[in-house]
Amino acid sequence: RSLRMLVVFLAVAVAAKVSALPSSAELVARAKDGPSLLLTELQVRDLRKRIKTDPKTAEWWEGVRGEAHSYLKEEVRIPDRGAQWGHYYVCKTCGAGLVADSPTAHRCRKCGKVYSGWPWDEVYVNRFHERLKESVYKCGLVYAVDGDLPCAERVKAIMLGYAAQYPRYPLINNNGAWKEGMGKRGFSRAHSQALDEAVWLCRLLPGYDLAKDVFTDAERTLVEKNFLRLAVDIFRNDNFG
């Protein structure tokens, strides 16, 4: 009986949560009014006040700001291909993790064996996609709160860079590139599976949302058409619910 009650309770809770989710029309309306994915304009103003009045929030913010500014020192270089599955990055002989001596030399931490080529070189590429993602997220946030224009310009450079490069990435999965005649379920572009692509975008998109007012209409259209809508197509092909 208690198990039945628990199931009913969970079902009601889930139904209530789903019914409370905004409609697509509401989401579009929110986006027209300003940032809406991570913070709204009202929440940004509230965060500014907390930074000024709460020492712990101020300390946290100094860390965020410092990290964002560290990214400004780096050249924006968009990888020329998608990344492979991180679980490949282990030694076939002893199972220990690999360490990169170069983009094409990956050494076992334990036995010293060196690997090169696919998939290890492609796994190495992931660190660049991830760092660019964090750069967009942190720089977008710092721009929204501090009005830091160099941070916004970095967000713009990265997103426009992906708009140019993302359509060129072949569809891939953990076994390699998509080929004619294959179904497209399970394939992705910047990563080797849709799950990783989704997790990556969940950090990248809020940063873009917070800084998109520095993009021209033409630039926003380019980013959304050549990058974001192509990413949406991945999830349409890979609808695991």
Distance CA 71, CA 5 (A): 51
Distance from C-alpha of 29 to C-alpha of 46, rounded to nearest angstrom: 22
Note the pLDDT of residue 6.
Answer: 43
Q: What is the pLDDT of residues 162-202, one digit of tens each?
A: 999 999 999 999 999 998 888 788 899 999 999 999 999 99
Can you give the pTM of this predicted structure?
A: 0.86
Label each residue of 166-185 as H, E or C.
HHHCCCEECCEECCCCCCCC
Residue 112 phi/psi, 5° resolution?
Answer: 85, 0
| Closest to 166 measured CA to CA, from 76, 77, 85, 81 | 81
pLDDT tens for residues 40-69? 999 999 999 999 999 999 999 999 999 999
**What percent of the chain shows pLDDT beyond 70?**
85
Give the pLDDT confidence of 202-237 residue by residue, as tens digits: 999 999 999 999 999 999 999 999 999 999 999 887
Q: Specify which residues 90 forms β-bridges with.
A: 97
Query: Which pair of structure tokens corresponds to residue 152?
Result: 């916004």
Kindly tell me if the per-residue pLDDT of 39 is higher than 90.
yes
